[in-house]
Amino acid sequence: MELTKDIVGLFEYKLSNAEGETLDESNGNPLAYLHGHGNIIPGLEAQMEGKKVGDKFTAEVAAADGYGVRVEQLVQEVPMAMFQGVDNIEVGMRFEAQSEHGTHSVEVTKVDGENVTVDGNHPLAGVDLTFEIEITGVRAATEDEIAHGHAHGPGGHHHH
């Protein structure tokens, strides 16, 4: 069985950047995803097409096909007063911010007196990615998985 639309794939991965630094890895906990439903970044999903159990390959994904290019408008300076109830704002802290486009995650990148610079870009925006992939499982998706648009069970989405 090959990975095509509505097939669940399980894969081990090691993610690194252009400098060869490991950013993330599955460490024996394969990730499950439903192919063709945008569960994983587009540049990786495209390279998973047609793969089967036991396939090992390297997927190079340009930033634009990964977590997107950096958008400078998502970097903003805001007054410290916006962080009500937080005593100590430090670089590297992440917050959920509300905007007219819904909730998004921002990271504090600079604290300067009463001003705080936050970056709403994904931490991997603008980063070219290299995945070392091993396909460990391929199976037909259930009707529920197809209806929900994601894999359930080990390595996938859990409903409570």
Q: How far apart are CA 60 and CA 26, in angstroms?
A: 17
For the chain, what's the residue count?
160
Q: Can you give the pLDDT at residue 20?
A: 95
pTM of the predicted structure, to 2 decimals: 0.83
What is the pairing mode between strands 102-112 and 22-25? unpaired
Q: Are residues 76 and 63 in the same domain?
A: no
- Specify the DSSP class assigned to residue 44: H
Q: What is the CATH number of the domain that holds 76?
A: 2.40.10.330
CB neighbour list of residue 127: distance below 8 Å, 6 or more residues apart: 17, 18, 23, 63, 66, 67
Phi then psi for 144, rounded to 5 degrees? Answer: -60, -45
Q: Can you give the pLDDT at residue 160?
A: 54
CB neighbour list of residue 111: distance below 8 Å, 6 or more residues apart: 80, 89, 90, 91, 117
* Total domains present in the chain: 2
Q: Can you give the pLDDT at residue 99?
A: 75
Q: Mean pLDDT per 10-residue run, the chain (160 residues)?
A: 97 96 95 96 97 98 96 94 88 87 88 94 95 97 95 78
Q: Can you give the pLDDT at residue 108?
A: 96
Q: Are residues 85 and 105 in the same domain?
A: yes
Range of the domain at 63: 7-67+125-148
